[in-house]
Amino acid sequence: MRWIALSLIVVLAAACGPSAEELAQQAAEAAAAAADSAVAEAQAAFDPSVFDTLTWENDQARLDRGGQVFTFSCEKCHGAEGLGDGGFVQNGDTLRPPSFADPNWALAGDVAGIREAIFVGTREGMPHWGLAGLHAESVDAVTTYILETLTAGDEG
């Protein structure tokens, strides 16, 4: 008899709480709010004037550093050739970033826009590299690398 009463209490308690679908929806909403907050924080921290004072030993040094940054920070999502085919899986979904080689890529040739996109990230999965500690020199270098080696045409 005690087991029946205990089972009834467990069933009633479960019926009073949110369903699995409601919990999943709440988790998705919380994740979206956190992503929005991180983007807003990164946007507030972004200062394009910091790039005005950067100097490089030479163009090749900047390009070499950009290749290193791309390999370690970008390739897993964007793919080795920047085609958006890295296959990185986040939260069960394979990320599909844009191809840098697509002549219709929204940021093609836009140095300032690429720097900002790298620093700020997106709520869809692009890391907020500026908040994650990628220094301005690295953002500048990888921007140059993307434009000079991975994009369609000669925007460099």
Q: What is the pTM for the complete model shown?
A: 0.78
Domain contains 78:
yes
The domain in which residue 118 lies consists of: 2-150
Domain contains 135:
yes
Tens digits of pLDDT across the chain (156 residues)? 555 555 555 555 555 667 778 766 666 666 667 667 888 999 999 999 999 999 999 999 999 999 999 999 999 999 999 999 999 998 888 999 999 999 999 999 999 999 999 999 988 889 999 989 899 999 999 999 999 999 865 444
Q: Any long-range contacts for 41-49 (C-beta under 8 Å, 24+ apart)?
A: 41/128, 41/131, 42/119, 42/120, 42/121, 42/128, 42/130, 42/131, 43/120, 45/119, 45/130, 45/131, 46/116, 46/119, 46/120, 46/130, 48/112, 48/115, 48/116
Q: How many domains does the chain have?
A: 1
State the CATH number of the domain containing residue 122: 1.10.760.10
Domain contains 121:
yes
Domain contains 156:
no
